[in-house]
Amino acid sequence: MNGFAMRNTKSQATKQSAAACYAERHAEAQDLLKRIATRLAAHQKEQAAEPSDWGYAGDVGRITEQLAYVLADLGDRSAVEAKGLEH
């Protein structure tokens, strides 16, 4: 668990079970994944309109690195290892 998540938990004014907290955060993660998919599809359409613009490739490269770290945080290091990233 990262420091942000721990700070966020400690700052809650009401007592909440770990299971309830997990359920809320899991729902939030699911929502974020849906929003990421939507934005990624829009980004792909934008790139198709400007196929010679290398900025889009750079964007997706940075995003895939960040997602590889997220996957590693969930217990699957295969993407960070495949990319040669340190974690």
Domain map of the chain by residue range?
Answer: 17-83
Q: For position 12, what pLDDT does the model report?
A: 57
Quick one: pLDDT band at residue 87, thresholds 50, 70, 90? confident
* Apex 49 CA angle, 46 and 53, nearest 5: 80
The torsion of the CA quartet 83, 63, 44, 32, rounded to 10 degrees, works out to 130
The answer on pLDDT for 4 being more than 70 is no
Q: For position 3, what pLDDT does the model report?
A: 53
Query: Given phi > 0 = left and psi -120 to 50 = alpha, else beta, which region is 85?
Result: beta
The answer on pLDDT for 52 being more than 70 is yes
CB within 8 Å of 86: residues ≥ 6 apart: 80
User: Are the beta carbons of 83 and 68 closer than 8 angstroms?
Assistant: yes
Distance CA 7, CA 49 (A): 43
